[in-house]
Amino acid sequence: MPTDQINPLISTQTNALRAAQNVRMSTEHQLPNMTGIRGLERRPTHPGETLRANVLPALGLTQKEFANHLGVSRVTVSELLHEKRGVTPDMAIRLGKLLGNGPRIWLHMQQRVDIWVLEQRGGYESIEQLHVAY
């Protein structure tokens, strides 16, 4: 491959890796407080949205190519990108290895979404905190 074709490819891959690493940096500071900066009224960003809007375009990959790199089906990737499927521990490991930012960020992002959805649904109001007897 000619040098002038390799440099843009390396630049695109570098930008994609930076985008994936920026995902980690922007959400790590919000992890202890599950409501984060957004508050309770806004749904946290689904990891599929991050992949669809930031990571895949930066990598210049199709869903099929991304699926092949992950070792999963195109349907699995499509469902994740369209937020019809959540990130499992298995998928988090795959994403973390492929993008170089580890599995925890993807699990934390999914956990924030899952907790927000359940809290919006409700049904936990009758549970009262137990206190330790002294």
Residue-wise pLDDT for 18-77, tens only, equals 666 666 555 444 444 444 555 568 999 999 999 999 999 999 999 999 999 999 999 999
Label residue 16 by pLDDT band (50, 70, 90).
Answer: low
Whole-prediction pTM value? 0.71
Residue-wise pLDDT for 90-132, tens only, equals 999 999 999 999 999 999 999 999 999 999 999 999 999 999 9
Question: With contact defined as beta carbons under 8 Å apart, do 81 and 51 qualify?
Answer: yes
What ranges do the domains of the chain cover? 3-116
Question: With contact defined as beta carbons under 8 Å apart, do 34 and 59 qualify?
Answer: no
Q: So what's the pLDDT on residue 30?
A: 45
Give the closest residue to 105 by CA, choosing from 68, 52, 65, 50: 50
Q: Is residue 96 helix, strand or coil?
A: helix
DSSP 8-state assignment for residue 31: S
Q: So what's the pLDDT on residue 41?
A: 81
Helix pair 3-28, 104-121: axis angle to 10 deg: 50
Classify domain 3-116 by CATH architecture. Answer: Orthogonal Bundle (1.10)
Distances (CA, A) of 110 to 31, 71, 87: 11, 20, 6
Percent of the chain's residues with pLDDT above 90: 68
